[in-house]
Amino acid sequence: MNWKFSPNKSDVNKKKKTKKREWFDAVIFAVIAATLIRVFFIEAYTIPSGSMEKSLLIGDYLFVSKVNYGARIPITPIAFPFAHHSMPVTGTKAYWDGVQWKYRRLPGLSDVKRNDVVVFNLPVGDTVALENQEPSYYNLVRESGWSVVNSQYTITSRPVDKRENIIKRCIGISGDVISMKGGVVSVNGKTEPLKNTGQMPYKIQLKTPDVNFDVFKELGFTVNEMTQIDADTYIANATPEMTDKLKSLDFIKSVDLSVKPETADDGDLFPLDTNRKWNVDNFGPIKIPAKGWRVQLDSHTMPLYYRAIRTYEGNKVEKKGDAWYINDKPATTYTFKMNYYWMMGDNRHNSIDSRYWGFVPEDHIVGKALFIWMSWDKGASFFHKIRWNRLLKGVN
């Protein structure tokens, strides 16, 4: 008996995919896969400024883990792939904020811990002057006035997950009491001196001005950034390890931290309260809000927690006479809905951080910095641009 295969009619009618269609499908699959990896697992990040020196340098390229703290479900789900808040060429919005989801986060491997290096959305990045590089619209308004800023610049608002990404070190977690005196941070009453991953300005006095500054270079100093006070005195950024080695040299007279006195008032620090005369080296104590913590509302606490209650947690906050009203109801206390953190740069005198804009809410946390996969020194010669000693180096 002869059997003859009879093809299915639908098979006969099927058209073979063209090369263009195959390429299109492959590209779509690759974009979807890369987007899922970027959103839920790991993302590349570039260090744009020197606020984290010596631990992280300008030109370091990092991988940031979304898994460690739990990936944040996109709050603004409709967005152009691989763009953050602006399109690369046109500068227009790379997202549509017509759809906004509530803050949710997948389970993570751990909570944010003290001394973690964290990438997060800039808390004061909710309002932006597009043509100005100043990261805080609010600083611009304080400096120039509302009418000037709003007439000279294009002002836009951004949802939480589309605010500028920045990287700092977590100095305090929710519930901690943090302060700083003489340039040294204290957490819950215990001093936490700066580790060798960060730097502070030091006043260096020499016994003689006749010094070979190559010695400073060998110890890690950036000689062209050292400020000369007089013939024998310089101000230079350094780590504790660098200063310990410097003190052992016979031409060094003294090495001391160069910090602001407690009486100095920087004026533009958080919480912008005229009753608090704080500066970058001396502030606090401040209690960092924790989910479920109830704070008493009065003239002392409201400057610290007003923005967290109103802006980050979405409440209507008003003062009528001497009384505070939250969502049109009189309130003497408030219970926080989220955990908060205190972030600071390792390069303590060259960092705009929580000392300027306060607490970082948990819904702003992006991920934990893991390791450097590439480091590029733009100022070096062609054959020395790659910092080979930093490749695949973990972030501590």
Q: Is pLDDT above 90 for 59?
A: yes
pLDDT grade for 14, boundaries at 50, 70 and 90: low
Task: For the beta carbon of residue 25, count every other beta carbon within 10 angstroms.
Answer: 11
Q: What is the pLDDT of residue 132?
A: 82
CA distance 96 to 80: 9
Tokens of 112: 């944010």
Q: How confident is the model at residue 384 (pLDDT cuts 50, 70, 90)?
A: confident
Has residue 10 got a pLDDT over 70?
no
Lowest mean pLDDT among 135-139, 258-262, 267-271, 339-343: 135-139
CATH of 200-257, one of 3.30.70, 2.60.40, 1.10.3470, 1.20.1420: 3.30.70
- The two structure tokens encoding residue 67: 């898994």
Which carries the bigger pLDDT value, residue 61 or residue 20? 61
Question: Among residues 206, 252, 212, which one has the least CA distance to residue 230?
Answer: 206
Label each residue of 104-140 as H, E or C.
CECCCCCCCCCCCEEEEECHHHHEEECCCCCCCHHHH
Over residues 122-167, the pLDDT tens digits come to 999 999 988 887 777 888 887 888 888 888 898 999 999 999 999 9
Asked whether residue 13 carries a pLDDT value surpassing 60, the answer given is: no
pLDDT for 196? 86
Encoded tokens for 105: 């986060």
The distance between the two most distant Cα atoms of the chain, rounded to a whole number of Å, is: 110
- Please give the structure tokens belonging to residue 113: 């811990």
What pLDDT digit, counting tens, does each position of 181-212 carry?
A: 999 999 999 999 888 889 999 999 999 888 88
Query: pLDDT tens, 339-370?
Result: 999 999 999 999 999 999 999 999 999 999 99
Percent of the chain at pLDDT above 90? 71
pLDDT of the residue at 8: 59
Give residue-wise pLDDT tens across range 281-312. Answer: 999 999 999 999 999 999 999 999 999 999 99
Rounded to an integer, what distance in angstroms lies between the CA atom of residue 26 and that of residue 24?
A: 5
Per-residue pLDDT band at 38 (split at 50, 70, 90)? very high
Residue in the structure block whose two tokens are 């120039």: 144
